[in-house]
Amino acid sequence: MRILTSTSGAVPCLFYPVARAMDVSMRTLLTDASSQAQVLREIGKRYPVDAVVRMTELWCEAAAFGMACNFTDTDFPRLGAAMCDDTEKLADLDIPNAENDVTHPLIEAVRLAVPQLDKPLVVGVTGPYTLGSVLNGPENFMMNCMMEPETIQGFLKRVTSFLKGYIDLYKTAGAAAVMIAEPSAAMISPDMMQEFSNVYVEEIIQDLQDAHFSVIYHNCGDVDRHLSVIAELSADGFHFGSGVSLDRALRSIASDRLVMGNVDPRLFLSRTPQSAGEEASRLISEYSGYENFRLSTGCDLSPSASMDAIEAFLQAAGRR
């Protein structure tokens, strides 16, 4: 639990709504390193959080591979159609440099922000199975894992090599941790998760996690039945969405590993902002006895999230 030593506070994903509150467009936020660094510094300075969390996965790695990506000023980036509709194209897909036109502003923002932060900075990347699912299409990729496992495993090895290089750049830039998002792995069986996801996530953990840098596994899918497999990962932390039973997660995962979550991000879009605070209070009441539990939003918050709801969440977190 070395990345977050405080037993109070919270680690919500405030990146997008704070940017909007600062009147920074989504397009500028994700393509201009200095603007993004300013948002990260603002979160660290103005909000009572244990860490600054920036989850920019699920679009940027796919865009780095050449997938069409549409930026708007007010919403999350939107990816176009899957790039590879068969395994032949997937196997021949060029692997980009870890730092490229898409990833450079994101990496540079960390380089700029970290020296001016007095809190850990946690960055997000797409996990290997989920990236494959995005590039190949979710149903295609799942079927290809069953029908052509050797081809998919060869592809996943190459993707994992790219992700290790990408994460290492964040580590060198000063990030304290990376959150690896594998939500697509919730759609396959626990045995398939072990074979086509966990083995590659564990490789990343073994190569990059150390005394100064942590790997956090994130899954906002319905993975209750996968928890025993997920718990085998040697990540320093686990971050879950609202569809996961924290009771099961805290029983499954070793007490020296963080378990974070799992306030539903949709509550921050509710017409009753206090509902986010009420849910935060409930989780604190039920799970504050676990020293390895940290309150968090279950996933990224929308740029349209209510700042009143965020304030209610943070007020509840402060009453731990």
Domain assignment of residue 6, yes or no: no
Look up the CATH number of the domain holding residue 232. 3.20.20.210
257: tokens are 């590993």
Residue 274, domain extent: 15-318
Q: How many domains does the chain have?
A: 1
**Closest of 196, 227, 230 to residue 216, by C-alpha:** 230
Round to whole Å and give the CA distance between 268 and 192.
Answer: 34
Contacts of 212 (CB under 8 A, 6+ apart): 176
Per-chain mean pLDDT for the chain: 94
Reported as a single tens digit per residue, the pLDDT across 77-127 is 999 999 988 888 888 999 999 999 999 999 999 999 999 999 999 999 999
pTM comes to 0.95
pLDDT of res. 4: 59
Domain assignment of residue 248, yes or no: yes
Reported as a single tens digit per residue, the pLDDT across 265-276 is 999 998 899 999
82: tokens are 């899957």
Domain assignment of residue 145, yes or no: yes
The mean-pLDDT minimum among 57-61, 220-224, 247-251, 299-303 falls in: 57-61
Reported as a single tens digit per residue, the pLDDT across 110-119 is 999 999 999 9
**Closest of 279, 227, 254, 310 to residue 20, by C-alpha:** 310
pLDDT of res. 320: 40
Task: Answer whether residue 295 shows pLDDT above 80.
Answer: yes
Domain assignment of residue 59, yes or no: yes
Domain assignment of residue 100, yes or no: yes
Reported as a single tens digit per residue, the pLDDT across 47-71 is 999 999 998 778 999 999 999 999 9
148: tokens are 């052509």
57: tokens are 């996965």
pLDDT of res. 234: 98
Mean pLDDT (whole number) for 17-21: 96
Domain assignment of residue 7, yes or no: no
**Closest of 318, 57, 12, 81 to residue 179, by C-alpha:** 57
How would residue 3 be classed by pLDDT, with cut points 50, 70 and 90? Answer: low
Mean pLDDT (whole number) for 182-190: 97
Domain assignment of residue 45, yes or no: yes
Domain assignment of residue 26, yes or no: yes
pLDDT of res. 58: 83
Task: Answer whether residue 2 shows pLDDT above 60.
Answer: no
Q: What does the H/E/C string look like for 70-96?
A: ECCCCCCCEECCCCCCCHHHHHCCCCC
